[in-house]
Structure 1
């Protein structure tokens, strides 16, 4: 137990040193409105029903039940963090804004360059003198620095930390005559996938495909590629092309892997139609609760002879409320989310590792949960491989992400070669970055 907790505690330190569906409850902005004596605020998040959406609802409902001053309305944004940024653009153009938003690590600079926000400490200093040292007391400085932008400003507070893991269906692996503990390298993933298809008829592999390139970055950079170097896109290197080619060959040549949306891919794994799924540890709860087979989560595969490099997943919470009442309500809600009990509930409901430093060992936190839950260990044990999630500089974030997504669909759809797709996309992104 002591070793396990020590590994869990080391997670955050190493993570930083390496630095790095919930249905809508409201379709319109309630910012600035009142519900009796309560200030009504919106909380924008990206947690679908299968990835923390239920826990968001539970936390919001519990907060609303105990707060005498604030009512929170949760709003789910599809297409993950990119979709939230796009929706926030539309809201800002209309002169509106939610009070609290989740901002993915890849959009930290884009968000701070394009939207109005207030540092949480500033809101605390102006309105909550009793909480003056809250952030200093409960968060390591290195963890807080994750939410500092390239200009050195504290944009928000880290909320979700994750890394990609490989979920495996041990029943299918055994049926195919393979090691039930799964592959250790990407080369073995390809071989396992091909054998599974040949011997069982099941699809062997799925790599998550949401509206971002998080998992793709892990695949490429673990092979020695760099998504960006000195503010210039450099992913179309020989190493990047080779890594992408393995993925494309599994889908187009071997026909042992599937090219599906994120929800479809994860569901196919849960339904037993895909033997291995490479996706975030934040899917742990969904997979663990719904899979009807011998399921396990193992560490991210490495490339033969190379070190694993895994982009930090998750998000920070930022205050976008403009008037003082909204800002005060935003901090009251955020303080609730960052309590030991709420952080523990968030981890149990998702798989995200909490950024608050005292949650793992607290009796009212995760102590018992970690003793009983083995599927978290893969994410904890591989944190020495964490690197920052690529954030393209300036205002290019959304455009660069979309160009990479377009290239992904073209390559995996077979309309362009890996080399052509990556090189043309790299060139297009660098034109934007000039």
Structure 2
């Protein structure tokens, strides 16, 4: 009896101190213990782009948290796939607690799904964290996660820009400058020389289920994906930029047209000399390439300044009830600690969103000194612009139309001018 009273007293004290509800306490056959609030974390990180690090961070969080258990769920097909899965979940009256939302779906997400701005949850449940966001994030970084109405939808988590990874061995074999091309015009010349001298492809531009790399290519030449709420990418500058890409794939056959996984793996295997993709592939490429590999800044167009869409995502809270919201913030605060952000950057290559991580001794100071590949992305951050997010409910459809025309152009079934012009018209019809 004395032992039972002691156990009862401990449980009562824990419940009072933690403000626990009935869903946080459970009687087990072996005694009484505190049960954790279980939440789902939806992400898009495949094994080759941060998936292992997600698993490590979730495991570390679960081991140290006394109140929350996180279940990570991988969503294939990148951010578009996550949005589609979230639609199905919402239709069934369910929702995960925390989701990764790609920048190109910021407005679409805020227009179509229920979420709670992070500061609201902090103010309601965690007054001790009231200044957390202001203390650790720069205003321009936080602005990336604000929708068209200026509301803070989430918190920036993954920040990246496209870089050009180069196989210096293949460049030297082709008699080219081992430091790589500086302009897109030179990229085309390098690719032809590589194909002629080695028989291998000169270039691969990433082709996931989004148009991030395409935006960088077009906007760096002076085009704009959207202007005053209307699609405007089929401008002379946009057509010229896309034409260079199409010529390399369709006519000259010096650039590869492959899935993202295939393209990056072909580069790692030494069959492609240059790959234009996210700095978030840094860890995968650096750890697996068996040749002299480097990452250099995104090529410019001659006489022009690059405009590079911020890649990656924010974390948003879609939890429905108070216990889930509280658990969501506990998990997110853990992910945004100096140590966790440092681990995330080391495991992926994403530029840290938190401002004090790069200089902190328990952060990235030593890592950045030893990993020169990160420098390319860090040095070009002043050229980063928002990833185009088509407004209203047209986000998913607009993105799919751009993917469809990309496959048609690179498959040689439609001209660049006809494809871009007709797609621009279709998207503007959706935006009306």
Measure how far apart 1:141 and its partner are.
2.3
Taking the aligned partners of 2:313 and 2:74, their CA distance within structure 1 comes to: 15
Secondary structure at 1:332 match in 2: helix
1:267 alignment partner, one of 242, 265, 268: 265
Which of 264, 279, 282 is equivalent to 1:281? 279
Q: Could you tell me which residue of structure 1 aligns to residue 92 of structure 2?
A: 94
Deviations along 1:65-116, whole A, 9 cap, x unmatched?
Answer: 1111111010111111111111100000000000000011111111000000
Structure 1 unaligned segments of length 5 or more: list them: 1-31
CA deviations 1:133-185 (Å, max 9, x no partner) are 11121112222122111112110111111000000000000000000000111
TM-score using structure 1 length: 0.91
Looking at structure 1, the residues matched to 147 and 365 of structure 2 have their Cα atoms a distance apart, in angstroms, of 33
Bigger mean CA deviation after superposition, 409-418 or 376-385 = 376-385
User: 1:33, CA displacement in angstroms?
Assistant: 9.8
Q: 2:167 aligns with which of 169, 180, 194?
A: 169
Q: Distance in 2 between matches of 1:300 and 1:128?
A: 41
Where does residue 324 of structure 1 map in the other structure?
A: 322
Structure 1 counterpart SS, 2:182: coil
1:279-308 per-position Cα deviation (integer Å, ceiling 9, x unaligned): 000000000000000000000011111111
Bigger-Rg structure (1/2): 2
For 1:69-108, list aligned pairs within 5 A.
69-108=67-106
Contact 1:283 1:350 in 2 (8 A): yes
Q: Distance in 2 between matches of 1:222 and 1:300?
A: 10
Secondary structure at 2:144 match in 1: helix
What secondary structure does 1:364 align onto? coil
Rounded Cα–Cα distance in structure 1 between residues aligned with 2:24 and 2:269:
44
Q: CA offset at residue 39 of structure 1? A: 0.7
| Alignment correspondent of 1:23 | none
* CA–CA separation in structure 2 for the residues paired with 1:417 and 1:117: 42
Determine the C-alpha separation between the residues in 2 that align with 1:306 and 1:365: 35
Structure 1 ranges of 4+ moved more than 3 A: 32-36
SS at match of 2:255: coil
CA positional deviation for 1:385: 1.4
CA distance in 2, matches of 1:254, 1:419: 18
Alpha-carbon distance between aligned partners in 2 of 1:416 and 1:73, rounded to the nearest angstrom: 44
TM-score with structure 2 setting the length = 0.92
CA separation in 1, counterparts of 2:382 and 2:152?
25
Displacement after TM superposition at 1:191 (Å): 0.8
Distance 1:103 1:301 in 2: 27
Q: Distance in 2 between matches of 1:83 and 1:34?
A: 36
Q: Distance in 2 between matches of 1:247 and 1:358?
A: 39
Q: CA–CA distance in 2 between the matches of 1:131 and 1:33?
A: 23
Alignment partner of 2:220 out of 219, 222, 230: 222
Conserved? CA contact 2:167–2:270, under 8 Å:
yes
Aligned residues between the structures: 403
Query: In structure 1, what is the equivalent of residue 307 of structure 2?
Result: 309
Q: Supply the distance in 2 between the matched residues of 1:349 and 1:33 (Cα, whole angstroms).
A: 33
CA distance in structure 2 between the aligned counterparts of 1:236 and 1:141, rounded to whole angstroms: 33
Q: Is the contact between residue 107 and residue 397 of structure 1 (CA under 8 Å) also seen in structure 2? A: yes
Whole-Å Cα distance in 2 between the matches of residues 308 and 143 of structure 1? 19
